[in-house]
Every structure is written in C-alpha cells, then in structure tokens.
Amino acid sequence: MILASEIIDVKSFPELTQQDISSASQVVTPFAIRTPIFNSTALSRVLNSQVILKAENLQTTGSFKVRGAINKLMNLGPRERERGVITVSSGNHGRAVAHIAGELGIRAVVCLSEAVPRGKVEAIEDLGAEVVRRGKTYDESVEEAYRIQSEGGLTMVHPFDDPLIIAGQGTIGLELLEDFPQVDTVIIPLSGGGLLSGIALALKTANPNIRVIGVSMDRGPAMVRSLEAGQVVEVVEEPTLADALAGGIGPNNQFTFRIVQELLDEAVLVSEDQIAQAMVYMLEHHHLVLEGGGAVGIAALLSKKVRRVGDQIAVILSGGNVDLPVLEGVINGHT
Ligand SMILES: *Cc1c(COP(=O)(O)O)cnc(C)c1O
C-alpha cells in the first residue's frame, strides 16, 4: 500500500514538536545506550543500495522502549511519583517501565495478557514490578489496566499514545540524523505507532523528503488496517513471531493514528516465514539476535516487498527479546 506523500506540515501536531524530541534527548541520554549503527554489506549487496542498521536490540532492557519510558517517568510530578504508575504491554514496554521505575524508586504495576511470552514476563517480575496477568489478548489486558488505574490513583504510562512516549522514541531519529545524515529512507517496525511517529517527526522536520516505511506482520496488523479504513478498527489478535507488534491501537487513539496517517509513506506486511527468515539471516550475517518484531524491517527488505527502497536506507532493529525455544524453532525451520 502506498500512501499519499505530500509536502508535510509538521507544525500540524501542536502537541508534539521537534523541540519536545530534543528535550527528550537530554532526559534519555543518561539512561539509554546510544545504540550503534553499522553498515550491512550483505543487505547492501542484495539491494544495491547502502543499508545501515540501528541496533536497538542492544538497548538497555533489549528494546527501544526504555527511551519513551524514561521520558515519561522523569516528567511525572512528585505526587504522581509517590503514588506510582501502571502500564499495559505486549512485554517490552512493561519491561522498560519496570526497569526505569526501579531506578527511580517508583512503584510500577504492569498488566500483561496470557499471550505475552514467558521470558518477558519473568524479566518484568525480576525487575520488581507488580505483574497482573489478565485477559487472553493485549486489548483485554488494556481494559483491566484502566480498571485498576481508576481504583488506585496510579498514573497510566501508555505504551505508545502519549506525546512524552512518542518524543522519547523520537530520539532514535535525532541519533540517526547525526550518525547517518544522508539517510533517504527509514524502515520502522509498526504496531501502536509510537516508534514510527517519533522517528518520522524527527526526520521529516529536518528533511521532509526522507521516506518513512512502516512494517507490520500480516497477522492482525491493527494500525495498517485502521489506515486502510480511514479510522481506528479492531483486528483479531493472532499468535505471531512478532509478539511485540500484537494488539490494537485503542478505540480512543488520540495521537499516533493521526501522526502515522500524516507521516507514513508506505506500509508493508510480512508473513511468519519471512520474519523467521529475517531472524536467521541476522544471526548468520551479523551475529545478532532479533525477536520477530525487531526483524520485520529486514523481512520487508529481503522479501522485496518495499516498493521504493531508496539509496541510503536505515533499518531500525527494534528489539531482541526472544525466548530461546522460539529462537531454536526458528533456526530449525519450524515456526
Ligand atoms: C513496541 C515495539 C515495536 C512497535 O512500537 P510501537 O510504538 O507500538 O509502534 C516494535 N518492535 C519492538 C521490538 C517493540 O517492542
């Protein structure tokens, strides 16, 4: 699907500006790794373009989510800090919030559905957060989180639909601009759209010609189906290797749907086989462990599903938290 890519007026998001992302950068820097970028000679050869990879799978807590979590928690008032926070997550955001809350001495409650992989649940428990497992799907656990929040006076730390979270994830865009200023195309895993919104805002403010491509799995891609429908729609959540990308974008989505609608140039969907192949490819060629959700950008390139690839491509490797038995299955070809 190719979406309209017109001249973008980034000022049309008063709730979120480049300035907010620069401010987030100050807050994020002491807590997050400035993840490396490196040239992929293998992919560059396959695509006949320069392909560089930004390794957020090596980020603290194993995914980029720590960036948004820091920015949100550091901006809480003293009363909010004292009462604590609650969040709901497909796993990585919960882990990031648990980590930062631990660092700052803030109480954290994390709601997780039964679909969240074991390794992610255990990591969150180990970080000292209170885990509430409720609901079969992400969307069901969201309802539970809001119910608990309404009783307890906790502050909701939304996994994507919050300007502070989006600005935190957007710091990846600022780092890319500094480390790879010639970038003309960026490929970003897409679920709730916090990651894509932040990076797209940072990049397009600097250069509106940079193309932003979002990639989701073909099993239950809530944002892409909503973009096609022109309004938020619900999708059925299905088991997928890209568990980090599962779940809806929220019936009351305030920010990310509109921002993604405006800034996304192309959306790509990838299959389970393509995700598995991308994970194996990254192990073989770069000795990097990616979770399924972190590998969808590579899957989109390898499967030649991106219509306009560009000459200077950056791919965001968004996370590496995969359970070993799952990785073993992927390597052995049963997914
Ligand atoms: C959360 C997550 C995404 C998607 O981020 P959104 O802001 O929800 O679009 C992509 N990859 C990984 C590994 C994630 O944890």
| Ligand 1 midpoint to CA 92 (Å) | 8
Contacts of 96 (CB under 8 A, 6+ apart): 61, 63, 65, 66, 68, 69
| Ligand 1 midpoint to CA 195 (Å) | 6
Ligand 1 pocket, CB under 6 A = 63, 65, 92-93, 160, 189-196, 244-245, 291, 293-294, 318-319
Q: d(Cα 72, Cα 166) in Å, to the nearest integer? A: 9
Q: How confident is the model at residue 7 (pLDDT cuts 50, 70, 90)?
A: very low
Of 10 and 162, more confident:
162
Is there a contact between 72 and 168 (Cβ–Cβ < 8 Å)?
yes
What was the pLDDT predicted at 77?
Answer: 97
The yes-or-no verdict on residue 11 having pLDDT over 90 is no
Catalytic machinery residues: 65, 318
Q: With the CA atoms of 232, 235, 241 and 244 taken in that order, what torsion angle do they form, in degrees rounded to the nearest 10?
A: 40
H/E run at residue 86? strand 85-89
| Ligand 1 midpoint to CA 244 (Å) | 6
Atom of ligand 1 nearest to the CA of 160: 7
What was the pLDDT predicted at 13?
Answer: 80
Q: d(Cα 219, Cα 177) in Å, to the nearest integer? A: 32
CA 1 to chain centre: 20
The yes-or-no verdict on residue 137 having pLDDT over 90 is yes
**What would the pLDDT profile of 56-89 be if each residue is shown by its tens digit?**
999 999 999 999 999 999 999 999 999 999 999 9
